[in-house]
Amino acid sequence: MTNLLLLCAIVIFACVFLNKISVRIGIPMLLAFILLGMLFGSDGLFKIPFENYSFAEDICTGALIFIMFYGGFGTNWEQARSTAGKAVLLSSAGVVITAVLTGVFIHFALGLTWEAGMLMGSIIGSTDAASVFSVLRSRKLNLKDNTASLLELESGSNDPFAYLLTMICIQAMQGETGASRVLQMLVLQIGLGLAFGALISLAAVWVLQHVRFETAGFDTVFVMGVALLAYAAPTALGGNGYLSTYLAGLFLGNHRIPDKKNQVHFFDGLTGLMQMLIFFLLGLLSTPSRLPAAAGDAILIALFLTFVARPAAVAAILGPAGDSLPKVLLVSFSGLRGAASIVFAILAVEQTSLGDFVFHTTFVIVLLSILFQGTLLPAVAKHLHMTDDESDVMKTFNDYSEETPVQFIRFRIPVSHPWVGKALKEITFPPQTLVVLREHGGTREVPNGESILCAGDVLILSALEPGEIRGVHLFEIPVKKGDHYAGKTLSQIPREDLSLIILIQRGSEVIIPNGGVLLQAGDTLVLNHLD
C-alpha cells in the first residue's frame, strides 16, 4: 500500500509539472498525461502491468461524473442562452449523424459488422468538454459570434447522447435489443435523466440557500454528494446518469448559492485532477507495441471523422440556421475527442467480444485529436478570421465574475476628521475607489456627490482586489502582561526596518492603528514584513 501511495504522489507531481510545461510550449496538457501513462505502462520505462479494464471502468466512470458535473457548473447560462438551441441540436442530432456516418464508413472501409461499426461511431461520436475547455482557457481563445459558448455548451452536454447510443449498440451486439426495447431505453434514459437532474438540483439549491453548515467547507462536500446522487439515482433505475449530472451542475452553477467562488475553484481543481487520472489510465492501459496494428484503421477513422462526419453534422444543423461558413468550419474542427470516448471504449471492451481492438483504436483517435486539433485550433480560428480581440472567452465560464473581485472597506468618521461637513464631491478619494453606502443616524443610503458627511457616519468604499502581491508576509505578535509593548503607544515603540503594524486585534474589536493607539496586554499585533 505504501508503494502504491508513493507512486500516486509521484504521478500527481509529474502531472502538475507537465501541465506547466505543456502550457508554455503550446501542446495540450492532456496529451502529456497520456504520454506519462505510457511511460509507466507495460511497454514503458517502469513496465507496470495493468490490463484490468473493469477496475479502470469504475475509476473512469467516477472521474467522468465530476467532469460532467463541472461541465455544467462552469458554464455561464447567460452567455450561452442565445446558442442553447443550436447546442442542444448539435449534442443530440449532431451526435447521431456523426455516429451513423462514422459507423457506415467503418463498416464499408474496414469490413466490420454493422453493430461493431455503429458501436465505434457511437464511442467517438461526442466531443470532449475537458479538452475544449482546456484549449479555450489556456490559449485565451476569444471567438466571434458567441462561438465559444456554443462549443462549451455542446461539448458539455453531448456525452449523455453518445452514452445512450453506445449502450444501444452494446445491447444489439448482445442480442438484447428490438424496436420496443430501444424505445423503452430512450424513454428511461432521457426521461429519468431529465427528471432526476431537475429534482435533485432544485432540492440542492433549496438546501444550500436555507441550511447553514456549521463546519466551513461542508457546503462543498454537500455539492459533491449532489453530483454523485445525480448520477447514481437515475442510473439505478435505468436512466441516464450523465445527463442528470450535467443538468444538476448547470442548474447549481447558475443559481445564487453561498460560497460559490470557493466551490467553483474546488471543482475546477478536482476536474483537472480527474482529467489527469483518466488520461493517465488511458496511457497506462495502452500497450504501445499493439498500437501499430490499430494505427492504420484509427488514422482512417480519425480523418473521416474530422473532415467528413463532423463537418456534415455541423453543416446540417448550423447551415439552415444561417451561420457563416467560417463559423461552421471552426465548430467542425473544434470537435475534440477525449475522456468520454475513453470511458465508453473501456465499457465496450468489458461488455462485447471485440477485445482491446476498440480500446487501442479509440486510443489512437483520441491521441490524434488532442495532438492535431487541440494544437492547431487557435491557428485555424485565426486563419478563418474567427478570433475577436474585443471579446473575452473567460466571460463564458461561471467563475468569470468571481475572478473580477471587489473588496470593501468600512470605516467610521471621527468627530475631528477633516471630512466632517464636506460633500462627497469635495473629497479626493484614492484612485479606483467608490463610496457605495453611507450609514447615517441609523439609516442606510446610497450617497451621491451632494451628500454631506457628518461625524459618526459609516462609509463603505469599494475597490478592486489587488490580486497576487509579492513581498507581503504577515505574522502575529501577542502582547502579554509585562511585555515592554504593554502600556505604550505605537509612536513610542521603535519601528523595525521593513516592518509595519497593520492591525491590532483586541478581543472582538479590530483596530487599524495610528501612532496614538495605546497597546494593552492581550492585544494581538498583526505585522507585515517586507521579504
The CATH number of whichever domain residue 160 belongs to comes to: 1.20.1530.20
Say yes or no: 197 and 218 in one domain: yes
pLDDT of residue 399: 56
Domain boundary among 344, 368, 395: 395
Looking only at the bridges linking them, the beta strands covering 524-530 and 499-506 are antiparallel
Residue 326: half-sphere exposure toward Cβ, Cα within 13 Å: 12
Positions of E strands within 294-442: 406-412, 433-440
For residue 514 the three cell numbers come to 495610528
Domain boundary among 446, 464, 482: 464
Q: Is pLDDT of 78 > 80? A: no
Percent of the chain with pLDDT over 70: 89
Query: What DSSP string describes 65-93?
Result: HHHHHHHHHTB-HHHHGGGHHHHHHHHTH
Say yes or no: 367 and 318 in one domain: yes
CA distance 37 to 33: 6
pLDDT of residue 216: 74
CA distance 361 to 462: 56
- Helices vs. strands in the chain: H and E counts, helices first: 20, 8
Mean pLDDT across 430-451: 83
Mean pLDDT across 126-148: 79
H or E element at residue 255: none
Residues 154-176 have pLDDT tens digits of 988 888 989 999 998 988 888 76
Say yes or no: 364 and 452 in one domain: no
| Phi, psi of 116, deg, nearest 5 | -65, -40
Residue 451 lies in a domain: yes
Q: Which domain holds residue 103?
A: 53-286+299-395
Mean pLDDT across 69-78: 84
Residues 6+ apart with CB under 8 A from 331: 90, 147, 150, 151, 314, 318
The answer to whether the pTM exceeds 0.85 is no
Q: Is pLDDT of 261 > 80? A: no
Mean pLDDT across 91-117: 94
Residues 6+ apart with CB under 8 A from 512: 411, 502, 503, 504
SS3 139: coil
Residues 187-224 have pLDDT tens digits of 899 999 999 999 999 999 999 888 888 777 788 899 99
Residue 279 lies in a domain: yes
Please, is 508 exposed, middle or buried when counting C-beta atoms within 10 Å of its C-beta (0-12, 13-18, 19+)? exposed
Please, is 225 exposed, middle or buried when counting C-beta atoms within 10 Å of its C-beta (0-12, 13-18, 19+)? exposed
Residue 138 lies in a domain: yes
Residues 6+ apart with CB under 8 A from 400: 76, 392, 394
Query: What DSSP string describes 148-201?
Result: HHHHHHHHHHSHHHHHHHHHHHHHHHTT---HHHHHHHHHHHHHHHHHHHHHHH
CA distance 437 to 460: 5
Say yes or no: 351 and 458 in one domain: no
For residue 262 the three cell numbers come to 470557493
Q: Which of 303, 413, 285, 339 is nearest to 130 (CA)?
A: 339
Q: Is pLDDT of 442 > 50? A: yes
The confidence band for 402, taking pLDDT boundaries of 50, 70 and 90, is very low
The confidence band for 405, taking pLDDT boundaries of 50, 70 and 90, is low
Domain boundary among 395, 418, 447: 395
Say yes or no: 303 and 358 in one domain: yes
Say yes or no: 347 and 484 in one domain: no
CA distance 128 to 279: 12
The confidence band for 404, taking pLDDT boundaries of 50, 70 and 90, is very low
| Residue 405 Cα distances to 5, 32, 67, 464, 468, angstroms | 38, 33, 26, 6, 12
Q: Is pLDDT of 23 > 60? A: no
Residue 360 lies in a domain: yes
Say yes or no: 96 and 113 in one domain: yes
pLDDT of residue 235: 93
Cβ(6)–Cβ(121) below 8 Å: no
Residues 6+ apart with CB under 8 A from 188: 237, 238, 239
Query: Which of 89-98, 313-322, 350-359, 459-468 has the lowest average pLDDT?
Result: 459-468
The confidence band for 477, taking pLDDT boundaries of 50, 70 and 90, is confident
Helix axes 241-253, 53-73, angle to 10 degrees: 30
Q: How many domains does the chain have?
A: 3
Say yes or no: 412 and 329 in one domain: no
Residue 479 lies in a domain: yes
SS3 468: coil
The confidence band for 513, taking pLDDT boundaries of 50, 70 and 90, is confident
Say yes or no: 336 and 433 in one domain: no
Residue 13 lies in a domain: no
Say yes or no: 375 and 408 in one domain: no
- If phi > 0 it is left, if psi is from -120 to 50 it is alpha, else beta; for residue 480 that is beta
CA distance 393 to 137: 7
The confidence band for 125, taking pLDDT boundaries of 50, 70 and 90, is very high
Percent of the chain with pLDDT over 90: 26
Q: Could you tell me the CATH number of the domain that includes residue 427?
A: 3.30.70.1450
Dihedral sign computed on CA atoms, order 94, 96, 102, 104:
negative
pLDDT of residue 501: 80
How large is the greatest C-alpha to C-alpha distance in the chain, in angstroms?
Answer: 92
Residue 11 lies in a domain: no
CA distance 480 to 496: 19
Say yes or no: 439 and 493 in one domain: no
The sheet with strand 443-445 has its strands ordered as 406-412, 458-464, 433-440, 443-445
Query: Which of 53-57, 131-135, 140-144, 297-301 has the lowest average pLDDT?
Result: 131-135
Residue 5 lies in a domain: no
Say yes or no: 389 and 429 in one domain: no
